[in-house]
Structure 1
Amino acid sequence: MSIEVGSKVQGKVTGITNFGAFVELPEGSTGLVHISEVADNYVKDINEHLKVGDQVEVKVINVEKDGKIGLSIKKAKETQQPQRPRHNGPRNNRNDQRNQNKTESFEQKMNRFLKDSEDRLSSLKRNTESKRGGRGARRG
């Protein structure tokens, strides 16, 4: 069995670094699971998810010409179980708003955009002026 992009294989974690984990694949080849490909959520410490010696199922996401193999644990899991929509931050809320507001007119969308833009700009100005000691900053 050759290692082909898109294939799922079983492997054994042989090493862990701060940027990912090395996984030994069948036929003795080794690939890297980048830390961003370990789990669906943000991974701060890979040691909380993997240990040397763990058996994992990985999906081959790329094979470089120099022989480097890119692997993904989260993509290997995606096809096994349906993913539920994640609602864990403002990004998803914005996407939900966009989907709900598809019937808005161009003017309504533009007004909402301008309001959001002005709010963000004023917040940014408030935060940067106070840190730089600009106008309105207290001097003691």
Structure 2
Amino acid sequence: MKIQTGQRFDGVINNITDLGIFVTLPQHHRGLVHRNDFGQEWLRERQRYQIGQEVRVVVQQIRKGRYDLSIRRVNDPDLTDPANQFSQLTPSQFAQTLNEVDAKAQAEIKQLEAVLAAAE
């Protein structure tokens, strides 16, 4: 799996140091949420996290094979997730795609309800 800037992941904290929070990403990739991600609140925020805790992170930058992660910028629209199938759509394309996904979901729900009704 190739990791790219802007991708969001659920990772697990494997270490907390004065430098920041080290996180294990899927497929054993690792990255750092630097203490600067928390600004002046680092000492207080650091207490909120524990080793083994799952956190949502975004890849801010990749330098020399190292992943610079952020917890604060997970919802930052400037970090476009290349794995998001909807990120490159225009608003009208997005609406059309969303309606298609909704229609497929509704059809699937009806099929499942029919299967459940037949099983009763």
Change (3 A) 1:43 1:77: farther
Rounded to whole Å, the distance in 2 between the matches of 1:8 and 1:26 is: 11
Deviation at 1:19, TM superposition (A): 1.6
Q: Which residue of 2 aligns with 1:29?
A: 29
Give yes or no for contact 1:12–1:53 (8 Å, CA) kept in 2.
Answer: yes
Q: Which residue of 1 aligns with 2:59?
A: 60
Q: Which residue of 1 aligns with 2:10?
A: 10
Rounded to whole Å, the distance in 1 between the matches of 2:70 and 2:8 is: 9
Q: Which has more strand, going by share of residues?
A: 2
Change (3 A) 1:32 1:69: same
RMSD between aligned residues: 1.9
| Structure 1 gap segments, 5+ residues each | 80-140
Give yes or no for contact 1:20–1:35 (8 Å, CA) kept in 2.
Answer: yes
| Structure 2 gap segments, 5+ residues each | 78-120
State yes or no: 1:19 paired with 2:19. Answer: yes
1:82-108 CA-partner distances (Å, limit 9, x unpaired): xxxxxxxxxxxxxxxxxxxxxxxxxxx
Rounded to whole Å, the distance in 1 between the matches of 2:2 and 2:61 is: 13
Report % sequence identity. Answer: 31
Please, which of 73, 76, 96 is the counterpart of residue 75 of structure 1? Answer: 73
Give yes or no for contact 1:20–1:46 (8 Å, CA) kept in 2.
Answer: no
Tell me the SS of whatever aligns to 1:43.
helix
State yes or no: 1:44 paired with 2:43. Answer: yes
Rounded to whole Å, the distance in 2 between the matches of 1:56 and 1:9 is: 8
Rounded to whole Å, the distance in 1 between the matches of 2:19 and 2:45 is: 8
Deviation at 1:36, TM superposition (A): 1.9
Aligned length, in residue pairs: 77
* Shift >4 Å, 4+ stretches: none
TM-score (norm 1): 0.49
Give yes or no for contact 1:40–1:74 (8 Å, CA) kept in 2.
Answer: no
2:14 is matched by which residue type in structure 1? T
Deviation at 1:68, TM superposition (A): 0.9
Rounded to whole Å, the distance in 2 between the matches of 1:7 and 1:41 is: 26
* Structure with max Cα Rg: 1
